[in-house]
Amino acid sequence: MTGVLRSALLLTAMAWLLGAGFDARLLAEDEPPAVVPLRKDVNALAGFRYTRLAEEAFEAAVIPEDPEWDEPTRLRHWVRAGDWEAVGKFLALFEPESARRLHTKILSDLSYANPKPTLLPEDVLALADASPVELDERQITHLGSIMRTAMRESEFRTELVEALTQGTKRLGGPDPDRRRLAGRLLAGALLYAEAKSFGLTDAELPEEARGLNLTPLSSGRNWEETVAVLRKDPLSPEDHAAALEDLHQLLLSSTPQAARQHLRALLTTPADHELAQEVVGIIGQKTALASREVDMASRTIHLELQHLALEQVEAVDGFTKAPWPIIANLAAANWLNEALYSYKTYPSWQRSTTESSRDRNAHVPVEHLVQHAPSGKWMLALEPQLATQVRTVLTRLILFSKDISRATAPIRELQKTDHQAAAALANAYLENWALRHDPNLSPEMLKEYRLDSSQVVVLTRSEQEASLKQLGGMLAALDPSTRDLLEETHLVEAFDFCHSRAEIFTLAHIVQVFGPLESLSPELALQLVDRMRTKLAQQWRDLSVQRDAATRRTAADVFELVNQGYAEAALIAQQWLDSHPDSWRMQSAAGSLLADWAEFAYFQSVAVEDGGDRFDAYLERSAKSLDHFRAGAKAYAGQVKSLGREEFSLLPFRAWFYGLLGITHDGGINLRKGVADEGLAELRQAILDLPGGAGESHLQLFSAMIAENLEENRIAPEMKYRYLSSGVQVTGSRATVYPAEEKVKYYDSLLQEIHLQTRVDGDEKIHAPGVFGLFVSLVHTADVARESGGFGKYVMNEVQRTVSGRTVIEKPLYRDRLEESLRVSLGNFFEIRTIAFADPTAGVRDAPTPPGAGDRPWQETPLCYLLLAVKDPTVDRIPALEIELDFFDREGKVILPAPSHPLPIEISADAPAQRPARNVSVTQIVDSRELADQRLKIDVVAAADGLAPDLDQLLRLSDYSLPVTEIVEQQNLHVHRLHHGPDGLYPQSERSWTLHLDPTKLLRGASRQIEFQFPQAISADTQMAYRRYEDMDPVEAAANVTLAEGEPVEQLALVDYRWWGAGAVGVLLLAGLGVLLVRNRKDAVAVGPPLFTLPAELTPFSVIALLHRIQRSPAVQLSEDQRQQLQADIRTLEQQTFAPQAKTAAPAELQTIASRWVDAAAPATLATAG
């Protein structure tokens, strides 16, 4: 191969390798460098940060270079490993300006790194030589800063000067330009005398170094020799100043331990006292001058040296003798000046997102300032005003740091002289503390990790206890005067964030943090109770909050937790009121809290059907709530004379009003809570009784509140009628509430034309144990039905509307809301066995016009039919029921409650057992498939228009030819449809039983056939149908049916004869045969007809009702584990259906649950074979 061809191929191969990202350093060193094209692509490399912390250097030293690494990873590895030769070779692959840019980027990162990099002076020189081009102004500035950091812990000054005198690749030596660069490097390292020896002029040095007769320490003088020079007498002022400068430079370049030893030696040597004062003085002077520099590393070093010097003075003298007190104050002023600059600059620096922005806001690090602040005897030596300033700024800086608990000590000291300043800092501490403990993630983190806004930091119990202890310790450090000046909002916020979002506040924790309950200020106590009330109404009861906090609490656990939270809050309020009974704000807050608790506990217990004493507890808490409202109004009345008109408050009366209406803190409304006129009248009277004529002013304020809420449309539709009508009762007729009065009149006129009606199906005297039916209907004028579009929608969950020509489907859940209302109203006294809703398309029926309603036609819209069973035979009435009706006024939607009247009933054993029924039909299915085992059954299904009678009212069983050994009720009385047609309005029901018969009479003596006769009906009006089983299918049969004939009869009779013949054999043979039969018996399961079927329409209510019937049925044989699981499924469905903000089970889930339990309830009997 010719040389030309070989060179061409080599150039082509190298170009391809470089284009593919090949590392050119891997090429053999003897290849001509001219063939390598220089690169420009430094953008990707410049986007990384280059650091060399101690731990990174150790790690890089033991990790071998991986050939698979990309270039940025490799370059960062070389920097961390201190492989400056590799860095230089890599930079040489780039064009000069690109190489300079990347080299400057590495220098900049190392110069501004915080914490500082781990580098030796030799590293800095090697890093400078790694530049493939001559160093420029920016590069040498960064190198000077890095060298200053490297020299802090080194005694390398002499060796450094010697190395630069000899010269390196880029610095020093005989070349004039490189010598000046070496001087710039030394000046950057604060080695000014040495810098001048390399040609720098005074104009090129910082101000504090100009004009001094600096003698380079490279001349050989060390600390002892320089001190010896200063001890000579006489010594010219210039030489004395130069020697002092040398000592200062030596201290700056010494390790802290060496500097401490040097200063301690001067301070403890009597002959050197004046010299020691001069040295400490020049340290303070240089620190003051350094504060003018832009180089923050230099300013930091000077502050550290000043702190070290003042520590030694404190240890030796304690600032007792002149001139140390003056020096202590001057040094503190130095620190304060630097601290104020950092305090001002730090927030902007923290918000900076670019390197240039951080450069503009550079400052002495906050932690360095905190560590080198005046303390101990130095702080005690300060003038009072200066000491206050120092403590204030120090505390502010600590609040920027990670460990803000250190702020407690300066605040504690500051409060001895300035309560206002101490309280301001304590408030800042609390605000900062709350911010740092806020469990909510920042928007940036939510965005970065694509988290939901509900995602929070999980707080463990131990962390919670530690936070409470820390906060309590801080507050305990404050004296009462300072505590009184704290902002309660910050206190409550900080206390809140001590807790997991899923954990309640407790009295014990409040006492732990704030001290005895009675010592809490009224505002703090009130804010704590209000915070608890808010969180109880929203956060703590939220299952998603509990889930996100990983508490693993079930719905029942959360119910118990919130109940406990209400109990704790009520106890806190009451115990505080024991010491402050005249606090009308807390009395009102306690009343609202108890009202919330009463509503929560009552409806939660309804959701899980936990009857017990829930109503008694509800009444008790409601009564206590009213007691607090009354006490709050009375306490307010006692103070109203001392209030100006602008200080009047509606709070005690508004809270009382909302408590009467059933409006809770979570925005919930108990529409089933009756609003007694007596309660509203008492509230009105309490306002009128305010002394000094204030009653009329407060009624005017109250009426303005009603009018404003109406005008701003703030009243919920379901609350509008109750709110306005009750408000008008309190205010009385006045111009302010005229619009409200007009609306109430309009609503009342509507309710005059529509009523909820209940009617017992049959006689109101009901046979014990008290199962009967109840019709529920709306009766109304034909006009209001026409204008409102009819009322059939109230038995539907979905309705269709046409909007702008489009069909819109809405889900107002009218039927579910009606069912919930019925269950809540009747649940204390009746068991609702069935709710059969009317067909919404069936239309209306004519109804009689109520007395005094004029001659307009009235109609009835049937809603549902209830099959009820009394829980207590002493019950004497059906309570008032209620339905919510939707209308629209000019301001929007309004929901009007239409109540029914209570109905008197009587439960009596003398009442007729039969409820109204017609078209009664009975279907009997004989099951002779187990006749060989002497088992014979009849399945009886009764249906009726009305309530199907009991079995003993249907069939003649007392004189039936075959003995009935057992009657099992397979399905209780069940209403499956409410019929509404021309022939009337009535329920359609059914029920079923299984009769177990003794077939002995049929089998004994049978020869050719076995005849069976069904039981006869008691009433000739009963429609009878007969069936028998052929294999698994029921087929029609007659009243008399042949069960078997021919050979099967002989087999059945033979079995019977052998049975009776066996009775004549001796006792021994009988026993032996019995043992043989037992040993050879095999069990087989024969499944009978299902006891239960799936509801025609699967809704949460229909499935819950089905599961309750299965649970109560004596015919269902379930194991204990199955019964527990059934109860758990019922509880889960009820909580999903009734609990606030719960998600209703999906239809597929309902289908699965219902099918599982219908199958589990299917009857099974054991048959003997073989």
Q: Would you say residue 580 has pLDDT above 90?
A: yes
Task: Identify the pLDDT of residue 1069.
Answer: 39
Task: Identify the pLDDT of residue 883.
Answer: 92
For residues 986 and 956, is the Cβ–Cβ distance under 8 A? no
Q: Which residue has the higher pLDDT, 860 or 1004?
A: 860
SS3 assignment for 800-841: EEEECCEEEEECCCHHHHHHHHHHHHHCCCEEEEEEEECCCC
pLDDT single digits (tens) 511-546: 999 999 999 999 999 999 999 999 998 888 888 888
Task: Identify the pLDDT of residue 1041.
Answer: 92
How far apart CA 827 and CA 603 sit, in angstroms, is 12
Nearest to 638 by CA among 652, 655, 658, 657: 652
Query: 991: pLDDT confidence band, cut at 50, 70 and 90?
Result: very high
Dihedral sign of CA atoms 730, 731, 736, 738 in order: positive
Task: Identify the pLDDT of residue 296.
Answer: 86
Q: Would you say residue 561 has pLDDT above 70?
A: yes
pLDDT single digits (tens) 176-203: 999 999 999 998 888 887 888 888 887 7
Task: Identify the pLDDT of residue 837.
Answer: 95
Contacts of 2 (CB under 8 A, 6+ apart): none
Question: Helix or strand or coil: residue 908?
Answer: strand
How far apart CA 314 and CA 379 sit, in angstroms, is 10
**Joined tokens for residue 385:** 């005003």
pLDDT single digits (tens) 663-709: 887 666 666 666 778 999 999 999 999 998 899 999 999 999 999 99
Dihedral sign of CA atoms 30, 36, 40, 42 in order: negative
Q: Would you say residue 843 has pLDDT above 70?
A: yes
Q: What is the DSSP string of 139-169?
A: HHHHHHHHHHHHHTT---HHHHHHHHHH--S
Task: Identify the pLDDT of residue 825.
Answer: 87
For residues 123 and 82, is the Cβ–Cβ distance under 8 A? yes
C-alpha of 679 from chain center = 38
Task: Identify the pLDDT of residue 207.
Answer: 62
Contacts of 804 (CB under 8 A, 6+ apart): none
pLDDT single digits (tens) 199-250: 888 778 776 555 444 444 433 468 888 888 888 877 788 888 888 888 898 8
How far apart CA 1099 and CA 509 sit, in angstroms, is 45
**Joined tokens for residue 726:** 């009750």
Task: Identify the pLDDT of residue 634.
Answer: 95
pLDDT single digits (tens) 896-922: 989 999 999 999 988 888 889 999 999
Tell me what the mean pLDDT of segment 614-627 comes to.
85
Q: Which residue has the higher pLDDT, 1106 or 881?
A: 881
**Joined tokens for residue 741:** 């009065």
Tell me what the mean pLDDT of segment 37-66 comes to.
86
Task: Identify the pLDDT of residue 1059.
Answer: 43
Dihedral sign of CA atoms 107, 108, 110, 111 in order: positive
Task: Identify the pLDDT of residue 25.
Answer: 35
Nearest to 704 by CA among 745, 742, 674, 734: 734
How far apart CA 1164 and CA 1086 sit, in angstroms, is 6
Burial category of 990 from C-beta neighbours within 10 Å (exposed 0-12, middle 13-18, buried 19 and up) = middle
Q: Please, what's the b/e burial string for 1043-1064 (b: 16 or more CB within 10 A of its CB; e: otherwise)?
A: bbeeeebeebbeebeeeeeeee
The terminus-to-terminus CA distance of the chain in angstroms comes to: 102
Task: Identify the pLDDT of residue 582.
Answer: 94
How far apart CA 126 and CA 52 sit, in angstroms, is 15
Task: Identify the pLDDT of residue 1166.
Answer: 36
Tell me what the mean pLDDT of segment 454-481 comes to.
80
**Joined tokens for residue 165:** 């005198």
Least confident piece of the model among 171-185, 714-728, 1152-1166: 1152-1166
For residues 707 and 737, is the Cβ–Cβ distance under 8 A? yes
Tell me what the mean pLDDT of segment 71-89 comes to.
93
Query: 556: pLDDT confidence band, cut at 50, 70 and 90?
Result: confident
SS3 assignment for 1003-1070: HCCCCCEEEEECCCECCCCCEEEEEEEECCEEEEECCEEEEEECHHHHHHHHHHHHHHHHCCCCHHHH
Task: Identify the pLDDT of residue 1139.
Answer: 59
Query: 31: pLDDT confidence band, cut at 50, 70 and 90?
Result: very low
Task: Identify the pLDDT of residue 555.
Answer: 85
Across the chain, mean pLDDT equals 84
Task: Identify the pLDDT of residue 978.
Answer: 95
Task: Identify the pLDDT of residue 13.
Answer: 31
How far apart CA 397 and CA 395 sit, in angstroms, is 5
Q: Please, what's the b/e burial string for 169-192 (b: 16 or more CB within 10 A of its CB; e: otherwise)?
A: ebbbbeeeebbbbbbbbbbbbbbb
Give the β-pairing of 830-837 and 806-810.
Answer: unpaired
Nearest to 478 by CA among 540, 429, 542: 429
For residues 497 and 438, is the Cβ–Cβ distance under 8 A? yes
How far apart CA 724 and CA 895 sit, in angstroms, is 12
Question: Helix or strand or coil: residue 611?
Answer: coil
Nearest to 510 by CA among 489, 532, 490: 532
Task: Identify the pLDDT of residue 27.
Answer: 31
For residues 886 and 895, is the Cβ–Cβ distance under 8 A? yes
How far apart CA 111 and CA 140 sit, in angstroms, is 11
For residues 1168 and 1087, is the Cβ–Cβ distance under 8 A? no
Backbone angles phi, psi at 42, to 5 degrees: -105, -5
Place of tokens 């069976």: 1012
Burial category of 480 from C-beta neighbours within 10 Å (exposed 0-12, middle 13-18, buried 19 and up) = exposed
Q: Which residue has the higher pLDDT, 443 or 248?
A: 248
pLDDT single digits (tens) 648-669: 999 999 999 999 988 887 666 6
pLDDT single digits (tens) 110-139: 998 888 898 888 899 999 999 999 999 889
Query: 479: pLDDT confidence band, cut at 50, 70 and 90?
Result: very high
For residues 486 and 527, is the Cβ–Cβ distance under 8 A? no
How far apart CA 572 and CA 578 sit, in angstroms, is 10
**Joined tokens for residue 1106:** 């089905």
Q: Which residue has the higher pLDDT, 453 or 681?
A: 681
How far apart CA 1077 and CA 1081 sit, in angstroms, is 6
**Joined tokens for residue 873:** 């035979």
Task: Identify the pLDDT of residue 134.
Answer: 94
